[in-house]
Amino acid sequence: MSKRLAAAVVVALVAMVLAGIVAYQPAAETQTNTSLGSGSDLARALLRAVIERGNEVSFKATQTIILWYPTGSSACITNVIHKAPNLTKTEYLPSATATSGYRVVISDGESTWHYEPSLGVVFHMPGTAPDRARRQKPAGTGPGTVSAASGSVLSLIERNYSVLLVSTESLAGRRAHVIKLKPVHPGNPSRTIWVDTELPFILRTEKYRPNGFLSSASFYNDIEFWPQIDDSTFRLQVPPGVAIVTLPGPGDLVTLEELQDKAGFAVPVPGFVPAGYILEGGTLTRRGDVEVAHLRFTDGLNTISFFVAPPTPRVDRRSGPASIADQFDMVSLGRQVALDGARGQLADYQDAKLLRWQASGYEFTLIGEVDESLLLQMAESVDAPESRIPAKDPLGGSVIKFFYEFFWTGR
Instruction: Assess contact for 178 and 194: CB atoms under 8 A.
Output: yes
CB contact at 8 A, 101 and 124 = no
Which of 143-152, 308-317, 342-351: highest mean pLDDT? 342-351
Task: Give residue 152's region: left, alpha or beta (phi > 0; psi -120 to 50).
Answer: beta
pLDDT at residue 128 in the model = 66
Residues in the chain: 411
Across 144-188, the runs of DSSP E, i.e. the strands, are: 161-171, 174-183
CA 172 to chain centre: 26
Looking at residue 130, its pLDDT comes to 57
The pLDDT value recorded for residue 18 is 34
Q: Which residue has the higher pLDDT, 130 or 104?
A: 104
Structure confidence by residue, pLDDT tens digits, 261-298: 888 888 999 999 999 999 999 998 876 677 899 999 99
pLDDT of residue 351: 74
| Three-class secondary structure of residue 325 per DSSP | helix
Bridge-partner residues for 285, per DSSP? 292
Q: Is the pLDDT of residue 244 over 70?
A: yes
Does residue 389 contact residue 313 with C-beta atoms inside 8 Å? yes
Give the pLDDT band (50/70/90) at residue 348: confident
- How many distinct helices (H) and strands (E) make up the chain? 9, 20
How far is Cα 313 from Cα 187, in angstroms, rounded to an integer? 38
Output the pLDDT for position 311: 84
Range of lowest pLDDT (60-64, 66-70, 146-150, 261-265): 146-150
Could you give the 3-state DSSP secondary structure of residue 142? coil
Question: Does residue 166 contact residue 27 with C-beta atoms inside 8 Å?
Answer: no
The whole-angstrom separation of Cα 379 and Cα 72 is 28
The answer to whether 182 and 161 have CB atoms below 8 angstroms apart is: yes
Task: Name the percent of the chain lying above pLDDT 70.
Answer: 71
**Which long-range contacts link 87-91 to residues 24+ away (Cβ below 8 Å)?**
87/229, 87/231, 87/233, 87/234, 88/130, 88/234, 89/233, 89/234, 90/16, 90/19
- What is the torsion angle, in degrees rounded to the nearest 10, for the CA atoms of residue 269, residue 273, residue 277 and residue 281? -10
Burial class (CB in 10 A: 0-12, 13-18, 19+), 314: exposed
Domains and CATH numbers, the chain: 3-244 (2.50.20.10), 251-409 (3.30.200.100)
Burial class (CB in 10 A: 0-12, 13-18, 19+), 307: buried
For the residues of 285-299, what is the DSSP string, one character each?
EEETTEEEEEEEEE-
Q: Choose between 194 and 94: higher pLDDT.
A: 194
**Contact, 200 vs 50, CB < 8 A?**
yes
Distances (CA, A) of 138 to 135, 143, 334: 7, 12, 41
pTM of the model: 0.78
At residue 249, the pLDDT reads 66
Whether the pLDDT of residue 149 is over 90: the answer is: no
Name the least confident of 116-125, 129-138, 144-153, 328-337: 129-138
